[in-house]
Chain A
Amino acid sequence: MTEVKPALDLGTGGSKQDTERKKLNDCLVAIGRTQNETAFATIYEHFAGRVKSFLLGKGMEIDTAEELMQEIMLVVWRRASSYDPGKAAASTWIFTIARNKRIDYLRGNSRVEVELDDSLLEHGPDSHHDADSMETLAIREQDTRKLSEALSKLPNEQQQVMHLSYFRGQSHGDIALWLDLPVGTVKSRIRLAMQSIREGMQLPKGAGAISRKT
């Protein structure tokens, strides 16, 4: 069995991380507004090696990962004007681009997503936002901080499973094999982690209604 150590530093969710996050968000905005190359260098410096690590972790060959990382960073450069710091941290925006580009590359077609002009789109009974703000990745700065804190407070075994889910392997089955754990244990750690994160962010509870037989 391979020993899997989480290559992860979640910090403590403190104000230093807030400052760092804000700096990166500002850089992305500056790229969008003025094609600021110094700002791009800062973003690249922070994210290029992380994006490549994501691609490698998902099983991509090293040369392909380098090429695709560059393509992803070019998308960041070109599309930065559509980035809104009021809706997501730079890291979330770049993560979704990297994830989607990887799917494009592997499958030759795009990730299937909700279409926001779908006439069947349901807006929710407690929606007091306008349709536009509801349908974005909207997250307030204080929620970002809470999310960061909640993640840093997770027990190690949950952090490990979350990191592996997103950044290694291609299924929870893979993770179970690596950690030599039943798939059910991997899944329950994920559920516990997401529950703590939602509680930390004061969001509504999870699936709830699914009565699982164990």
Chain B
Amino acid sequence: MNITHHLSDETLIEYASGNLNEALEVVVASHLTLCSHCRQRSHTADHVGGHLLDATKPVEVSHSASDLLNRLRNSETDDTAADQLQSLKTTQKPAQETDNARFLSTDVPRPLARRIPADLDALPWSTMAKGIKHYTLRHADGSKSNHRTGAFKLLKLQPGVKLIEHSHGDIELTLVLKGSYSDSTGRYGVGDVADLGADVTHCPVIDSNEPCIAVVATNSPAQYTGMVGRIMQPFIGI
């Protein structure tokens, strides 16, 4: 795979800090699967996080290490206390993720494959406009994206389709899964990610012989009160 368009440092740091929503994490982790270069950069961002944790001024805590271990020991002999200790929401692997990976589609990276029921060609695509189909992705809890959570969908664009000129929200990631497209920022093939900020306006043209399939995610526009006007024009203004 010859990847020429990578994730930006800003996005990798948002990912390392735990600031991205689930949809953006799926696109980032999918690109990282296909791109060892960005995977290395992502590891560096984690190490930076560790160093900054070291350098951060600690705040006061209300219990000591021995309090905590005593609490643990008591809880091991007392299930009620154990329940109390676990009273905070604990991680529940979403039902999809407990599925054996064998049954997942292998034509897309696993983080995305876990969120689609079939291979790309077999998905129930909906037509949006001539030559443009889409498939709305669900989050791990089964919810679909909406105007408050930001976009999370697959797009399938026929060869020759030209999208109207549009600008972007604050964070919008597009990862090409099949085919390719070109715009003023370059040519995007399989594995390439368009990590374009609000400052970019472009009009992509599908230039592959086969349809171009891409996954698109944006951040939650509600977070950015000052920018609402521009935000709701993601890739082809869905």
Residues of A at the B interface (CB closer than 8 Å) are: 7-11, 21, 37, 40-41, 43-54, 56, 58, 64, 66-71, 73-74, 77, 88-96, 98-100, 102-105, 107-115, 117-124, 127, 134, 137-139, 144, 147-148, 151, 162-163, 165-167, 170-174, 177, 183-184, 187, 190-191, 194-195, 197-198, 201, 203-204, 206-214
Q: Indicate if the CB atoms of B10 and A151 lie closer than 8 Å.
A: no
Q: Looking at B37, B47, B69, which has the most chain A CB atoms within 10 Å of its CB?
A: B47
Do A147 and B47 touch across chains, with their CB atoms under 8 A apart? yes
B4 (CB) vs chain A CBs: closest residue:
A209
Total interface residues on B, using CB and 8 Å?
A: 90
Let me know if B66 and A41 touch, CB within 8 A.
Answer: yes
Give the top 3 A-B pairs by smallest Cβ distance, nearest first.
A49-B58, A92-B50, A124-B36
A-side interface mostly: helix
- Which B residues are CB-close (under 8 A) to A102? 18
**B74: Cβ under 8 A from any A Cβ:** no
Please, which residue of chain B has its CB at the minimum distance from the CB of A49? B58
Give the residues in chain A near B46, CB-CB below 8 Å: 88, 92, 95-96, 137
| 8 A Cβ contacts from B10-61 to A | 10, 12-14, 16-19, 22, 25-26, 28-29, 32-37, 39-41, 43-61
CA–CA, A203 to B62, complex, Å? Answer: 41
B13 near A211: Cβ-Cβ < 8 Å = no
Q: Among residues 182 to 204 in chain B, which have CB atoms less than 8 Å away from a CB atom of chain A?
A: 184-186, 191, 195, 197-200
Tell me whether B6 and A54 are in contact (CB under 8 A). Answer: no
Choice from B66, B85, B139, B184 contacting A213 with Cβ under 8 Å: B184
Q: Evaluate whether A187 and B88 lie within 8 angstroms (CB atoms) in the complex, with A119-B106, A137-B47, A171-B19 already known.
A: no
- CB closest residue in chain B, given A107: B22
B77 within 8 A of A: no
Q: Tell which of A41, A103, A122 touches B33, judged by Cβ atoms closer than 8 Å.
A: A122
Q: Considering the complex, give the chain B residue whose CB is closest to the CB of A173.
A: B224
Q: Tell whether, in the assembled complex, residue A123 and residue B36 are in contact, meaning their CB atoms are under 8 Å apart.
A: yes
Docked CA distance A118–B224 (Å): 35
Q: In the complex, are the beta carbons of A8 and B57 less than 8 A apart?
A: yes
CA distance A54 to B19 in the complex (A): 13
